[in-house]
C-alpha cells in the first residue's frame, strides 16, 4: 500500500460502514414517529428493527467469506449498492409490512459491507499500524453515527420519518467514488472457493425461528402452537448448524478459530456487551420521546455525548492494546459501561436532561470508547490475515446476534412489567371502567398508548401519567439488565484473556 493511500482507504471504509451505523441509531429515533404514522404496535416496531438485524446477523459470516474469496472491494461495493437501494425502498414504504421487508433487504446489504470495511483495513495496513487504523475507523465511524441521530431527528421533525432513510444515499455515493478511485482489491490467500449454503440457511432458520417465537409470544401468547413451533424449529436449526459446521471441510464458521483464548474471549464479551447496548438504545429513544416529551431532533441530539466521547477517545483507545495488552482495557471498559447503563435507570418521569441522561451517556460513552478499539483489534489479530474478513464477519455476527436476541428476549419482561405496573396505576385512578379496559387492551403499544377518544380530559391526563410511570418501570428493568450483561463481559475478559503482553497480536498457543 502506498503511504498516500491510507487516508483514502480509511475514508472509504468509514463512509461505507457508517451507513449501517447511522441506520441503527437513526431508525431507533424514528421508531416513535413510525409507530404513530403507521398505527404500529410494539411488536411491529420490534420487527422493523429485528428484520434488519436477523438478515444482518445470519449472513455476516457469508459476507466476510465472500470478500475473502471473491474480492473484498467488490463485495463491499455490492453491499453498499444493495443497502442504498433498500434504504430508498424503506423511505418509499406504503405500510409497515413493506417497510419490514425493505429492512430485511437492508440487512442483506449490511452483511456484505460491514465485514468488508474492517477486512480492507486489515489487508491494507501492517500489523504495527493496524490498532491505530482501527481506532481511527472506530472514531470517525462514531462521528458519522453521532451526526446521524441529530440530522435524522431534525429531518423526522421537519420532513417526516421517511427522510431518515434517504439520508443514506449521499454517503453511499461518496463511499463508492473513493472505493473505486483509491482502494486496491484484496483477497484471502489459500481460501477455498466454496461457499456454505447449508450453514447460511440453518443460521437464518435458527435465528429466525427463535426471534419469531419470542417476539410473537407477546402478541399471540405462550400457548399459541405457532410460537412453540417457531422456537422448536429455531433450536433444532441452530443445533444442526453447529453439527454441519463441525463436519464441513470449508465451513462459513470454522469452529477451530475458537481454540484461541483471545478470539473466544473477545466474542463472548461482544455478545454480552452489545446485547445490553442494543436493548438500551432500542428503549432509550422511546423513553425520551414518549415519556419525557422530547422531539425527534432533541432525542437524536441527546445521544451525542455518548457518541462524541467515543469519537474523541477512540484513537487513543486504539493504542491501549499496544501499551498494556488486551486484558486491562477489556476489563475496565465494560465495568465503566455497566455503570453507565445503571445510571440510565435513575431518571423517573421528569427531570432536566443535564442531571438525568447526560451523566449516564457520558459514562457509557467512556466505557465503550475504552472497549471498542481494543476489542476489535484483538479479534482481527487473533487470526491469520487470510481469514480477516471471516473474523470480522464472525465478530460482527456475534454483536448483531446479541442485539437481535436481546431485543427479542428482554422486551418480553419489559412488556410484562409495563402491563403489571399499568394495572396497578389504573387501579389508583378514578377513570371509568370502560376507559381502563380499553387502555389495558392496548398495552402492547407501551409508551405510545393513549386513552380512547371518549375519555374526558381528566381521564386522559390520568391515563397519560399511568402510562409514563409504567414505561419507566419497564425501562429501568432494561437498563439494569444491560448493566448486568456488561459485568458478564468484564468477567469474560478477566477470566479468559492472558495477563501481560497483548493477547491479540497473533494466534496464541493457549487453547480453551
Looking at the structure, do residues 83 and 66 belong to the same domain, yes or no? yes
Looking at the structure, do residues 236 and 333 belong to the same domain, yes or no? no
Looking at the structure, do residues 257 and 246 belong to the same domain, yes or no? no
Pairwise pLDDT comparison (87 vs 186), residue with the higher score: 87
Q: Which residue has the cell 427463535?
A: 210
Q: Give the pLDDT of residue 361.
A: 95
Looking at the structure, do residues 387 and 240 belong to the same domain, yes or no? no
Query: Does residue 426 lie in a domain region?
Result: no
Query: Does residue 502 lie in a domain region?
Result: no
222, 251, 280: which is the final residue of a domain? 251
User: pLDDT of 190-226, one tens digit each?
Assistant: 544 566 778 878 888 888 888 888 878 877 777 888 8
pTM of the model: 0.77
Looking at the structure, do residues 176 and 204 belong to the same domain, yes or no? no
Would you say residue 364 has pLDDT above 60? yes
Specify whether the CB–CB gap between 130 and 377 falls below 8 A: yes
| CATH code: domain of residue 384 | 1.20.1250.20
Q: Give the pLDDT of residue 405.
A: 85
Rounded to the nearest integer, the mean pLDDT of the chain is 82
Looking at the structure, do residues 262 and 140 belong to the same domain, yes or no? yes
Would you say residue 78 has pLDDT above 80? yes
Looking at the structure, do residues 257 and 235 belong to the same domain, yes or no? no
Q: Give the pLDDT of residue 268.
A: 92
User: pLDDT of 486-496, one tens digit each?
Assistant: 999 999 988 88
* Cell matching residue 381: 489479530
Query: Does residue 320 lie in a domain region?
Result: yes
Would you say residue 51 has pLDDT above 80? yes
Structural domain count of the chain: 2
User: Would you say how long the chain is, in residues?
Assistant: 512
Query: Does residue 428 lie in a domain region?
Result: no
3-state secondary structure of 220: helix
Specify whether the CB–CB gap between 75 and 388 falls below 8 A: no
Looking at the structure, do residues 89 and 173 belong to the same domain, yes or no? yes
Query: Does residue 133 lie in a domain region?
Result: yes
Which range marks the domain in which residue 399 is found? 3-184+252-418+470-496
Specify whether the CB–CB gap between 57 and 151 falls below 8 A: no
Looking at the structure, do residues 357 and 489 belong to the same domain, yes or no? yes
Looking at the structure, do residues 201 and 90 belong to the same domain, yes or no? no
Query: Does residue 488 lie in a domain region?
Result: yes
Specify whether the CB–CB gap between 447 and 414 falls below 8 A: no
Query: Does residue 452 lie in a domain region?
Result: no
Query: Does residue 125 lie in a domain region?
Result: yes
Looking at the structure, do residues 357 and 231 belong to the same domain, yes or no? no
For residue 226, CA distances in Å to 41, 216, 221, 222, 413 come to 19, 9, 10, 9, 20
Looking at the structure, do residues 231 and 299 belong to the same domain, yes or no? no
Amino acid at each position: 500500500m502506498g503511504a498516500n493511500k491510507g487516508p483514502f482507504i480509511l475514508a472509504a471504509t468509514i463512509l461505507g460502514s457508517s451507513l449501517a451505523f447511522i441506520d441503527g441509531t437513526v431508525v431507533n429515533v424514528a421508531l416513535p414517529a413510525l409507530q404513530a404514522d403507521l398505527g404500529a404496535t410494539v411488536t411491529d416496531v420490534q420487527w422493523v428493527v429485528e428484520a434488519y438485524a436477523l438478515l444482518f446477523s445470519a449472513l455476516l459470516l457469508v459476507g466476510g467469506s465472500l470478500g475473502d474469496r471473491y474480492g473484498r472491494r467488490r463485495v463491499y461495493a455490492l453491499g453498499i449498492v444493495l443497502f442504498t437501494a433498500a434504504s430508498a425502498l424503506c423511505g418509499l414504504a406504503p405500510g409497515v409490512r413493506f417497510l419490514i421487508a425493505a429492512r430485511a433487504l437492508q440487512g442483506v446489504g449490511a452483511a456484505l459491507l460491514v465485514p468488508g470495511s474492517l477486512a480492507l483495513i486489515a489487508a491494507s495496513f501492517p500489523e504495527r499500524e493496524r490498532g491505530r487504523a482501527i481506532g481511527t475507523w472506530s472514531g470517525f465511524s462514531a462521528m458519522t453515527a453521532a451526526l446521524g441521530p441529530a440530522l435524522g431527528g431534525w429531518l423526522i421533525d421537519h420532513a417526516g420519518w421517511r427522510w431518515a432513510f434517504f439520508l443514506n444515499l449521499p454517503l453511499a455515493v461518496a463511499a463508492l467514488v473513493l472505493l473505486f478511485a483509491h482502494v486496491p482489491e484484496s483477497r484471502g490467500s489459500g481460501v477455498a472457493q466454496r461457499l456454505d449454503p447449508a450453514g447460511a440457511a440453518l443460521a437464518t432458520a435458527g435465528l429466525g425461528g427463535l426471534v419469531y417465537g419470542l417476539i410473537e409470544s407477546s402478541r399471540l401468547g405462550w400457548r399459541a402452537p405457532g410460537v412453540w413451533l417457531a422456537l422448536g424449529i429455531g433450536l433444532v436449526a441452530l443445533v444442526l448448524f453447529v453439527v454441519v459446521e463441525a463436519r464441513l471441510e470449508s465451513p462459513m464458521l470454522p469452529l477451530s478459530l475458537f481454540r484461541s483464548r483471545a478470539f473466544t474471549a473477545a466474542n463472548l464479551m461482544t455478545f454480552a456487551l452489545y446485547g445490553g447496548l442494543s436493548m438500551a438504545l432500542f428503549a432509550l429513544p422511546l423513553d425520551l420521546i414518549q415519556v419525557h416529551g422530547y422531539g425527534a431532533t432533541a432525542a437524536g441530539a441527546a445521544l451525542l455525548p455518548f457518541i462524541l466521547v467515543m469519537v474523541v477517545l477512540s484513537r487513543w483507545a486504539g493504542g491501549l492494546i499496544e501499551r498494556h495488552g488486551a486484558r486491562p482495557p477489556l476489563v475496565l471498559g465494560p465495568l465503566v459501561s455497566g455503570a453507565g447503563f445503571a445510571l440510565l435507570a435513575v431518571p423517573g418521569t421528569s427531570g432536566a436532561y443535564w442531571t438525568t441522561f447526560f451523566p449516564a451517556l457520558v459514562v457509557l460513552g467512556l466505557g465503550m470508547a475504552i472497549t471498542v478499539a481494543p476489542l476489535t483489534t484483538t479479534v482481527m489479530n487473533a487470526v491469520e490475515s487470510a481469514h480477516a474478513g471471516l473474523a470480522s464477519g464472525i465478530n460482527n455476527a456475534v454483536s448483531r446476534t446479541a442485539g437481535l436476541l436481546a431485543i427479542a428476549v428482554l422486551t418480553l419482561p419489559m412488556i410484562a412489567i409495563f402491563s403489571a405496573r399499568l394495572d396497578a396505576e389504573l387501579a389508583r385512578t378514578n377513570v371509568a371502567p370502560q376507559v381502563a379496559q380499553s387502555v389495558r387492551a392496548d398495552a402492547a403499544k407501551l409508551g405510545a398508548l393513549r386513552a380512547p377518544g371518549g375519555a374526558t380530559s381528566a381521564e386522559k391526563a390520568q391515563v397519560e401519567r399511568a402510562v409514563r410511570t409504567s414505561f419507566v418501570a419497564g425501562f429501568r428493568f432494561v437498563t439494569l439488565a444491560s448493566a448486568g450483561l456488561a459485568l458478564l463481559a468484564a468477567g469474560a475478559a478477566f477470566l479468559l484473556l492472558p495477563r501481560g503482553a497483548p493477547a491479540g497480536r497473533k494466534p496464541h498457543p493457549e487453547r480453551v
